[in-house]
Copies of this chain bind each other. A is one copy, B any other.
Amino acid sequence: MKIYLAGPDVFLPVAVEIGRRKAAICASHGLTSLYPLDNAIDPAAEDASLRIFHANKAMMDEASAVIANLTPFRGPGADPGTVYELGYMAGSGKLCLGYSNDPSPYADRVARFIDVSPEQGRLVDAHGLTVEDFGLTDNLMMVHALDLHGGALIVPPHAPANVWDDLSAFEACVRMAAERLATK
């Protein structure tokens, strides 16, 4: 069974190494991983972005499941590129699993980026925009999409020292994927 590995891991300086470690974990559970960096596309090439898109889409279409790394990226929430891929896989009827190495509630994380205050029964930020305050780890669409299309978002009890290096929550997703795909 093939699993697409979505996540901002591809932006890390150690992106290739992380991909190899994730692939090894998948293999140890009898699963084949498809990782965006497995496509060797020169970022300086003409139309590189379009070629990367089509290569990633082909991998997603080939995979039976996705494991999305929803650890917050450049802001209080998950990487939008990763979230697009989670949505695409959900819409395609594939098994959707995900993890975040930051277990804090979304509203608490927003408060680290911008002033937040209660106002007429809701939480708002300094621009007056409502802050989702359901005690969830991120936007309700992603969190409940996982509940419906796969399994509950996996989070560690405490954020690891290096949220990009620790693959325990990832491995929990792989175990879940192996169980689910075995019964299909």
A residues contacting B by CB (< 8 A) are 8, 10-13, 15, 43-44, 48-50, 52-54, 56-57, 73-81, 83-93, 110, 113-114, 121-122, 124-125, 128-132, 134, 136, 138-145, 147-148
Contacts of A80 in B (CB 8 A): 77-80, 83, 138-139, 141-142
What is the total number of copies of this protein in its complex? 2
Which residues of chain B are within 8 angstroms of A54 by Cβ–Cβ distance?
A: 144
B85 touches A86 (CB 8 A): no
Task: Check A141 against B75 for contact (C-beta < 8 Å).
Answer: no
Specify the main secondary structure of chain A where it touches its partner. Answer: helix
- Residues of B contacting A8 in the complex (Cβ-Cβ under 8 angstroms): 129
CA distance A144 to B141 in the complex (A): 22
Instruction: Choose among B53, B76, B140 the residue that contacts A81 (Cβ–Cβ < 8 A).
Output: B140
Q: Given the complex, which residues of B lie within 8 Å of A10, measured CB to CB?
A: 130
B residues in contact with A141, CB < 8 Å: 53, 56, 80-81, 84-85
A-B contact pairs, 8 of them (CB 8 A): A10-B130, A15-B130, A50-B140, A50-B147, A79-B80, A85-B87, A87-B89, A87-B91
Q: A11-B132, A75-B77 are in contact. List 20 more A-B contacts (CB 8 A).
A: A43-B134, A48-B134, A49-B143, A50-B147, A56-B141, A73-B129, A75-B113, A78-B80, A80-B141, A81-B139, A81-B141, A83-B83, A83-B87, A84-B90, A87-B87, A88-B88, A88-B91, A88-B145, A91-B92, A91-B93
